[in-house]
C-alpha cells in the first residue's frame, strides 16, 4: 500500500489512490533540479529491480500540475470509428497486464563521449528496471475501431514547455508506428513495482514501450490520436535521431545491446584474492545470450554466468569469478551479445546529439 506523506494531496477529487502534488526528493544523482533529471546511483545498479525512489528520471519540462478539482481523463481519437474517453477507474476495471521492463534513456553514458556533446551529462545510471502494470494499448485501439489507412499513433503528455529557447511552447509529443502501438506488450501503465505511478514517473498513466529507448514511453498521458500520416514534431524529427554516414537522420527506436559492470567501481584498490565481478546486460532486440569479461582492456575474454531472473524486456544479471594473476593495474570490460547476434561494440559511434552510447566502458582496478 502506497501511503502518501505529502501535505498537499488535494489535486484530484475522484481517485482511489493517494497522490502528491510535490515530487519527493530522492537519492538520485542530480543532473538537473528543474526540470528534474536524475540518474540511478551506481550502488543501486546491482539490484535487478530498481526501487521506485531510485529509478532514473528524465523530464523535458516541469512536472505538470492539475487544478484541485480537475478530473483526469484520457482521450483517444483521430482515425477511429469510436472516439473514447477513459477515467482511471475505467482503466482499473480492465484486465491488468504486468511486465518487468528495463527503461534506458537514449542519452545514457553521454558523459563518456569524446569529444563531449551538449545534453544531459549522464554517466551509466540513466537505466532502471521496474515491474509495470496496466492495460495493453492494443485493447483500447481495438475498442476504438482503427480505420484503414492508419499509420501511426500519437501520444501527448500533460507537460508543456519550450524544448529550446527558439521553439514555441508545446506539449511533449511522440508517435509510434501502428504495429508497435498494436503490439500486445505495449502498455498503458498506472503502476510501477506495485505502487501507483509517482508524479515524477507519469501519474496517473503513462505509455511503456518495451525494448525502446525511454523517450517513447510518454508520461502524464492526456491524449492518444490515431494518425493517417507520420508525425513530424520536435521530439520526433529534431531530437532522438542519429546522423547516418550520408548526413541523413535515423530515428532512434530499439535499445542497442549493452552491459555495465556494477561491481567493482572504477578506481577501486583491492587486496590480491579472487572476486565475483558482477553487472547487468540488456538489449531491446532479444534476450541476452552471452556476456564476456576481459581484465586486459579487451585483449582476452572469458564468459560470465548469466544469473537471476530472465525476462524478455528486462536486463540480465551476470557474475564472473575473477582471479587476478598478480598485483598491478587491471582494465575490466564487459561485452554483451544478444540472441539475435548483436554484439556490443568496443567503441561507441560518436554522434552530435549523444545517443546510443553502448560501447564497452573500462573499469580501472588496482590489485595490491
Interface with ligand MTE by CB under 6 A: which residues?
55-60, 103, 105, 157, 159, 172, 201, 214-215, 217-220
CB atoms within 10 A of CB 331: 15
Minimum Å gap between C-beta 20 and ligand MTE is 15
Minimum Å gap between C-beta 94 and ligand MTE is 22
**Up-side HSE of residue 119: CA atoms within 13 Å toward CB?**
22
Which single residue is written with the C-alpha cell 572476486?
275
Minimum Å gap between C-beta 214 and ligand MTE is 3
Query: From residue 185, how far is each of 72, 224, 331 by CA, in Å?
Result: 24, 17, 39
Nearer to ligand MTE, 26 or 342 (CB): 26
For residue 176, what are the contacts with CB-CB under 8 A and spacing of at least 6?
A: 152, 153, 155, 186, 209, 216
Nearer to ligand MTE, 172 or 322 (CB): 172
The DSSP symbol for 235 reads H
Sign of the dihedral defined by the CA atoms of residues 308, 312, 315, 321, in that order: positive
Minimum Å gap between C-beta 224 and ligand MTE is 13
Minimum Å gap between C-beta 154 and ligand MTE is 12
Nearer to ligand MTE, 187 or 293 (CB): 187
Which single residue is written with the C-alpha cell 502534488?
21
Nearer to ligand MTE, 219 or 335 (CB): 219
Minimum Å gap between C-beta 361 and ligand MTE is 19
**Beta-bridge partner residues of 105:** none
Nearer to ligand MTE, 86 or 216 (CB): 216
Query: From residue 1, how far is each of 135, 193, 265 by CA, in Å?
Result: 20, 11, 35
Nearer to ligand MTE, 108 or 294 (CB): 108
Amino acid at each position: 500500500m502506497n501511503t502518501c506523506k505529502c501535505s498537499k494531496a488535494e489535486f484530484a477529487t475522484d481517485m482511489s489512490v493517494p497522490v502528491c502534488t510535490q515530487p519527493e526528493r530522492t537519492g538520485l544523482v542530480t543532473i538537473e533540479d528543474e526540470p528534474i533529471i536524475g540518474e540511478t546511483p551506481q550502488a543501486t545498479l546491482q539490484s535487478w529491480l530498481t526501487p521506485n525512489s531510485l529509478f532514473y528520471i528524465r523530464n523535458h519540462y516541469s512536472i505538470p500540475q492539475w487544478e484541485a478539482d480537475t478530473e483526469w481523463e484520457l482521450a483517444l481519437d483521430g482515425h477511429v470509428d469510436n472516439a473514447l474517453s477513459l477515467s482511471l477507474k475505467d482503466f482499473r476495471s480492465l484486465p491488468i497486464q504486468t511486465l518487468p521492463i528495463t527503461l534506458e534513456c537514449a542519452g545514457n553514458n553521454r558523459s563518456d563521449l569524446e569529444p563531449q556533446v551538449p545534453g544531459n551529462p549522464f554517466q551509466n545510471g540513466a537505466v532502471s528496471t521496474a515491474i509495470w502494470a496496466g492495460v495493453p494499448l492494443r485493447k483500447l485501439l481495438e475498442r476504438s475501431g482503427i480505420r484503414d489507412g492508419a499509420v501511426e499513433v500519437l501520444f501527448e503528455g500533460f507537460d508543456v514547455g519550450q524544448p529550446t529557447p527558439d521553439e514555441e511552447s508545446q506539449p511533449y509529443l511522440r508517435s509510434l508506428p501502428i504495429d508497435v502501438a498494436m503490439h500486445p506488450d505495449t502498455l498503458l501503465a498506472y503502476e510501477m513495482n506495485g505502487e501507483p505511478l509517482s508524479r515524477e514517473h507519469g501519474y496517473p498513466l503513462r505509455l511503456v514501450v518495451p525494448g525502446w529507448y525511454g523517450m517513447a514511453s510518454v508520461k502524464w498521458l492526456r491524449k492518444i490520436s490515431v494518425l493517417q500520416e507520420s508525425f513530424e514534431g520536435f521530439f520526433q524529427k529534431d531530437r532522438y535521431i542519429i546522423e547516418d554516414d550520408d548526413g541523413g537522420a535515423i530515428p532512434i527506436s530499439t535499445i542497442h545491446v549493452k552491459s555495465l559492470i556494477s561491481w567493482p567501481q572504477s578506481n577501486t584498490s583491492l587486496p590480491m584474492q579472487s572476486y565475483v565481478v558482477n553487472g547487468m546486460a540488456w538489449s531491446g532486440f532479444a534476450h541476452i545470450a552471452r556476456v564476456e569479461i576481459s581484465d586486459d582492456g579487451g585483449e582476452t575474454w572469458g564468459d560470465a554466468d548469466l544469473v537471476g531472473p530472465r525476462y524478455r524486456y528486462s536486463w540480465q544479471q551476470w557474475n564472473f569469478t575473477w582471479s587476478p594473476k598478480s598485483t598491478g593495474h587491471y582494465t575490466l570490460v564487459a561485452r554483451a551479445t544478444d540472441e539475435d547476434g548483436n554484439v556490443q561494440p568496443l567503441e561507441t559511434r560518436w554522434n552530435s546529439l549523444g545517443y546510443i552510447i553502448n560501447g564497452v566502458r573500462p573499469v580501472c582496478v588496482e590489485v595490491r
